[in-house]
Structure formats: structure tokens, C-alpha cells
Amino acid sequence: MWGGRFSAGPDAIMEEINASVDFDQKLAAQDIAGSRAHAAMLHDQGILSSEDAASIDQGLSTILSEIESGTFSFSRALEDIHMNVESRLAELIGSSAGRLHTARSRNDQVALDFRMWVRDQTVAMQASLSRLIEVMLDRADEHADTIMPGFTHLQTAQPVTFGHHCLAYVEMLARDRSRMADAYERMNECPLGAAALAGTGFRIDRHATANALGFREPSRNSLDTVSDRDFALEFLAAASICGTHLSRLAEEIVIWSTPQFGFVRLSDKFSTGSSIMPQKKNPDAAELVRGKVGRMNGSLIGLLTVMKGLPLTYSKDMQEDKEGVFDAAETLELCLAAMTGMIADMEISRDAMRAAAGSGYSTATDLADWLVREAGLPFRDAHHATGHAVALAESKGCDLAELDLSDLQKINSAFTDDIFNVLTVEASVASRTSFGGTAPDNVRQQVRAWRERLKS
């Protein structure tokens, strides 16, 4: 491949560090699609004869079939997917294969292949995210009025509904899907034709090639084109943020499934046992989702580190751009599938959630709000009075609703019997009717709105 510039072949160590075909063969379909579009453009521009164009296209079609059937023999001595394809094409059609590389370089070729692969992944992730969102919406609708404790600092804060809790993750996942869609738009520029770094003197039609490969337009600067890996970084960043959301949900599933909480029960399909303790049912699928996010984060930091010190344009360091992206894509796809399955068949304990929702004086804010609304107290004064009520309930070992009215009136004379109407978790949840609040009607309305968004 290196032609007359070098008199000797690569040393075994150099071949080991230099070869990338072990992993970049994943780009085979994109590489062949790009080559076929390039050959067609060269023919249309009068740079490639009809005979050579037809021969090249047929040969590339044959190679794609060989790769898909598993009969193609990859050679590490040929370094990468590009040279493996070109070498096999020469075996099939002879010297005409050498004309395919007219007006392009491996620099713009790999930029094209990798960008197309990542672009496809953003589409796949949007579909997987939509499936998980749909499952979360089903559970939200089903449990729009299932009361559970809402937490801050993992301490009981105020009652909410499990449906509302599910919708919180719908919001996160929808942002993840939006990030993938946004990344798609920015990466939807065709690198082919930038050549090594300066463009080419051949009269090529980059707009035609971009159109043939489904890009919005060709990239506008040849230097940036061959050195840009923002599309891979954006994908990794979006994957890491999405993974973080999945990890937070996985952590909650792990907590909720403990006997101490007992909020949910995972199916046997997403649980494992213990080799020594026969009673154990471990939420391993959730734990693995939580753990695998570290790999995605590592891939993002790895590529950021590779790119941070590179001058324009292409450097061989950039060969390290692919493996982390490949791994992150496969990992995220697996995590999304696992989470979709877990959520879909997870058993919810309404009774355990309801019992926990009333613990920890979760309706204290409702008491303070009542003093503001009904007695006209400034909120800070109401907050102070409520704190005294909580302290009194703690000393008596009872809930707020179990305090005597006379005890409450010693704290503030404004209390009346009406206060006990707001101190149930049902009343608390039902009162949170502000937009985005946890009231069951709000939840159902948001479910309907999100389903309409998914359709559009």
C-alpha cells in the first residue's frame, strides 16, 4: 500500500500497533456504500469510464455479499477495512480497482464511514428510547393515583404518585432522544471529497455524493472535515447522559426491591439467585445497567483526551476514536433493552408505597400551606408553627393527623378542625394541581400529551 516510499515492510510490532481491521471491519457496509457512491459520481463526472464504473460496482457488491455471509477473509497485514476491501476488489476485477481511489483519501474515507455508522446509531437509539418511553408511559397511566413517598436526600419529603415518578424519567429519556436527534442534524454533512486535507483538483461533484449517501449537504472545509470527530464525541456525550439517567433509575429499582422498602418486585427474568443463600433474589440486571454506565463515561473521557492535543488535520491518534464508540453504542443499546424489559414486567406494591408515603411527617408542608391559605400567616411563620407541630408529634410518637386539635391550637390559635382534611396523603397528592404537579389528573393529562408527542 505504501508504494515506493518505503523499502521494507512493517515490523511485527508496528503491524500490531498499526492494524485496525480487527475493529473497523464493523464499518464494512458504510465503506462499501461510500465507495459505490464515489465511483458513480466519478463516472457521472467523466473521470471514470462506464466499463470501470460497472466493474467496480459489481465487485463491491460481491464483496459486501462475502462480508455479510461471513466468507470474506480479513487480513491484518492490510491494516484496515478500506485496504481490505480495495485489495479484494483488485483480486476480483484487476487493475481497474485502483481507479476507485481517484480524488479521495483514506482520511476522508474513514471520516465518511465512521460518521455514517454513528449517524445510524443515533437513529437506532432514538427508536430504543421511544420504546422505553412508551413503557414508562404505560406504567405512569396505570399508576397515576398510586401514592408513594417523594424523597429529597433519600428522606421522605412529600407524597407523590408512582405515575408522576415514572413521568420524571419520561422527561429525562425524551431529552436523551432529543440529544440524539440534534446530534444527527449536526453530523449530517458528507466528508467525502475533502481528500487528504486540502480537497482535490479533480472536477468532482460533492453535492451529488452527499445526496446519494443521504446527507443534507457536503462539509464546507476540507481541513476541518478530516480532523473532526465532534460527531463521535457528541454521540458519546449523549450516550453518557442517557446512561446516567438509566443508572439513576437502576439505583432506585435496587433500593425499591429491598425488603426494607418492598416497593417493587422484579420478575425472575431480570433477577439472579445466590450460590450460597437460597433466599436471595438479586436485582442483577439493574445493578449491571448501573455499572455499565462507567464504561460509557470512560469512552467519552478517552476520546476527549485523544482529541485535546491534536493539531490540524489528521493524526494516527485518531485511529483510537472507534472502539470506545462501538462499545458505548452496544452497551447503551443493551442497557435500554434491559431497562425496558425490567420496567414492563416489574410488579408494583401499592400497599407498601402507600404505607411509606405517610411516614416521616410527609404532609407537614400541607399543614404549613393551610396556615398560609386559611389563616393568612406569612409562610415563614407557618413553617415555624409546623416545625413545632412535627416536634410535638415526634414526642408523642404519633403522626400529624393524630394530634389533638387542642394541641395544635396551643401552637397557633388559627387551627380548626378543617386542618385534618389536608393531612392525608390522598389529599396532599390531589392538591398538587399546578402544572407539572403530581395530582393524578395531571399525570393522566401528561401521559396523553406525551403519547401525542411520540406519534408526531
Active site residue 153: yes
Give the amino acid at 16.
Answer: E
Catalytic-labelled residue, pool 153, 275, 395, 434: 153
The span from the CA of 380 to the CA of 383, in Å, is 5
The span from the CA of 442 to the CA of 165, in Å, is 12
Give the closest residue to 162 by CA, choosing from 174, 144, 177, 183.
Answer: 144
Three-state secondary structure of the chain: CCHHHCCCCCCHHHHHHHCCHHHHHHHHHHHHHHHHHHHHHHHHCCCCCHHHHHHHHHHHHHHHHHHHHCCCCCCHHHCCHHHHHHHHHHHHHHHHHHHHHCCCCHHHHHHHHHHHHHHHHHHHHHHHHHHHHHHHHHHHHHCCCCEEEEEECCEEEEEEEHHHHHHHHHHHHHHHHHHHHHHHHHHCEECCCCCCCCCCCCCCCHHHHHHHCCCCEECCCHHHHHHCCHHHHHHHHHHHHHHHHHHHHHHHHHHHCCCCCCCEECCHHHCECCCCCCCCCECHHHHHHHHHHHHHHHHHHHHHHHHCCCCCCCCHHHHHHHHHHHHHHHHHHHHHHHHHHHHHCCEECHHHHHHHHCCCCCCHHHHHHHHHHHHCCCHHHHHHHHHHHHHHHHHHCCCHHHCCHHHHHHHCCCCCHHHHHCCCHHHHHHHCCCCCCCCHHHHHHHHHHHHHHHHC
Contact (CB, 8 A) for 300 and 233: yes
Active site residue 143: no
Taking only Cα atoms into account, the Rg of the chain, rounded to an integer number of angstroms, comes to 30
Chain centroid to Cα 327, Å, comes to: 13
Cell numbers placing 262: 418492598
Contact (CB, 8 A) for 60 and 85: yes
User: Measured on CA atoms in the order 116, 117, 122, 125, is the torsion positive or negative?
Assistant: positive
Catalytic-labelled residue, pool 267, 274, 315, 359: 274
Chain centroid to Cα 438, Å, comes to: 26
Q: Which positions are catalytic?
A: 153, 274
